[in-house]
Each structure stands twice: as structure tokens, then as C-alpha cells.
Chain A
């Protein structure tokens, strides 16, 4: 039994090592991939623009819930004007980056993983290697960079829509004063809070995209293997995002 535990431990360690090695290879190929920007632009379209609808809808509802809950809570202390501050800080620092990353892992990460996995299963990647085209440079890096670029933009859109969602509930329906909603937000939210959100979403973008392309690229070339790669993309991404979220929050305090 101890032997099995030890083996699963070394397997996990080996997996972590190969992810780091893969990231290193991606970074090495990044400058040459940047020269062919239309490939990256296509991936920004695939993983970013197609995630827009789900991100905007979720942002609206998360903001509306924040508006409702925040209003109920703040009303007890007679400070419903702070609703704008509460909703904005919550959205910009935490909910925006985290929920966007989780949705991104579900919407774009799975698409990336299954696409690359199917490429592997149908020998397209081997074919590229035979034609002396580096699949990492041609296929993997543009997808990775597309995800990294899309994530902060999506998170920012999520936060903005969320703030308007909170404003919709708080100001239009619950009757918080619109002026104090915005002015209290402006005086209490600092540039540091916004920076923290951007840094978070950038790091989540790297993590999510890396996990997705890694799982897809090294998927077992069978139907079952592709399915498993997709599943583990979502599971690993979710855990890694929440773990990193804690680390970054602690680092910014």
C-alpha cells in the first residue's frame, strides 16, 4: 500500500515537472509565434470572442446578486450607499478574475484540450512533425497566447458588466442614491485593487491555457483519452485557479 502511495506521489511530481518543462518550451517559442500574429488573433477570436456571451451574462447575474445581497446586508447598518464600494471591490478583486477563469476553463479550456487531443488522436500532430513543421510553434503556442491575452480582457468585461448589474439592482430597484453609489466607489476603490484584479486574471490566463494545451497535447490518442483530457482540464484548472487565487491575494495584502 505504501508502495502505491509512493508511486502515485512520484507520478504527480513527474506530471508537475513535465508541465513546467512544457511551459518552458512554450515560452521559448513565444517570440517566433508572435511574428505570425494572425494565428494568435484567430485564437483570441476562438477562445475570447466566443466566450463573450457567457461571460457577459454571468457577469450581469453575479453583479445583480451582489447588489441584492449587499443591499440586504448593508441596510442593517444603515450604510446602503457603500453598496457601490462593496460590489466593485468584490467584483474587481475576486469574483471577476475567479469566475471568469472558471467559466473560461469550462468554455474555452475544454475546447482547446479536445481540439488538440483529437489532433493527436488523428495523427495530425505527427503529420506536422513529419513535414518538419513544429506543432508546438504552429498549433500550441498561438492557442496558449490567445488564452493568455483573452483572459484579462474577459475578466475586465465581466467586472464592468457586474458593476452595472449591481447598479441596476441597487440604484434602479432598491433606490440607493446614484450619486453616492458612484462617488463612494470612486473614493474607496484604489488603482491597487484594479491592478490586483488584472494581475490575477493574467496569471489565471497562463494557468488555464497551459493546463488546457498540456492536457490536449499529451492526451492518450483514443476517444477515451480525449474525453479524459477534457475532464481533467476542467478539474485541474478549477483547483489550480482557486489555489493561485489564495496565493495572489495573500501576496497583495
Chain B
């Protein structure tokens, strides 16, 4: 009897330890846990023309301080906009209603996050409110496209203006290659 008691005790504590470890892995190392045991939160929505590669769970920050996270990203088929649900910490409940939300990139190629800049209104955002002023994600491809377009355009201009000289130098290099 004595022996089976210590045995059961050992098995029990091993299983308990194992499940505690599993619990730790699922709640403490993933973003999932924060929404379970986090401080009280309230939700506001914001509509964007383009959210880029913004992900659920991305931080929402104000002056660089994280005040919440992106909870859901949906598509509104009425006005063809992306609806982003922001879950903000209840502690930061003094955000003016005319604040604007923009999507920024962490670092040069990092993930996207939402930055809120405070407005000047006297009333504050409450649960289920909507942020009206938004600025879409800055899409790197578009920018590269624009830069390339400008570049080729300026190059074409340059070539047009300096066409004779250019052809001459081309001919020069060709003749050099031949002699090699």
C-alpha cells in the first residue's frame, strides 16, 4: 500500500508537470495567451483602402508604445475596404475620436503595425467605435514600380538628348571587343 502510494504520487506529479509545461507552451510562448489572461480590453474598428500584409496579432501603437493588437481583418464588400478590428488595452481609453490610424512597417522589410496619432477632439473612443481617418499600408512594390518608372523615364530623356554621343561610345566599345 505504502509503495503504491508513492508510485501514484510520482506518476501524478510527473503528469501534472507535463501538463503544466504544455500549458506554458500554448499560453506563454504564443500570442494566444495574451488575449486569455490579458488586462481588460475594448475594441474599435478602422477601415483601410489597403492593409498590405498586415497580420492578425500585429501590434497597435501610439507614440511607439504598444497599446493593443490587431484582432481581426475582414473585407467589407459594400465599399471595398479592409475592416481591421483593433483590440486596445482598457488602460489607454483616452484616445480622441478624431485620431488617425496608419499602417507602418517595422524596419525596412519588417512586419506591418498600426500607429495611431492622437487628434484634438474632446470625446474619446469607446468600445465598438470606428476610427474615420486612416492611411493605407505603404506597399513596397508600388514604390519600386514608381521609382523604376521615373528612372526609365529620366533615362529615356537623357538618351534622347545625348543620342549622338551615346551611339558613338557604343560603337567604340564594340570595336574594342572585336580587337580583343
A contacts, CB < 8 Å to B: 38, 41-42, 44-45, 48-49, 52, 88, 92, 149-150, 152-154, 156-157, 159-160, 163, 185-187, 189-191, 193-194, 197-198
A156 B21 Cβ-Cβ under 8 A = yes
CB distance from B170 to the nearest CB of A (A): 42
Contact B14 A48 (CB under 8 A): yes
Measured CA separation A154–B19 after assembly (Å): 10
Q: Is the interface of B mostly helix, strand, loop or mixed?
A: helix
Size band of the interface chain B makes with A: 20 to 34
Stretch at the interface among B27-35, B71-79, B86-94: B27-35
| Chain A interface, DSSP helix/strand/loop, else mixed | helix
Contact A157:B21 (CB < 8 A) given known A44-B14, A45-B14, A52-B14: yes
**Pair count A-B, CB < 8 A:** 80
Q: Are A157 and B18 in contact (CB-based, < 8 A)?
A: yes
A236 to B28, CA, bound (A): 35
Question: Across the interface, do B29 and A45 meet the contact criterion of CB distance under 8 Å?
Answer: no
Chain B residue with the shortest CB-CB distance to A192: B30
**Does B8 reach chain A (CB closer than 8 Å)?**
yes
Given contacts A41-B11, A156-B25, A160-B24, contact A187 B18 (CB under 8 A): no
Interface contact A159-B25, CB-CB below 8 Å: yes
Contact B29 A163 (CB under 8 A): yes
CB pair B59 A187 closer than 8 Å: yes
Given A153-B17, A153-B18, A190-B30, A42 contacting B11 (CB threshold 8 A): yes
CB pair A88 B29 closer than 8 Å: yes
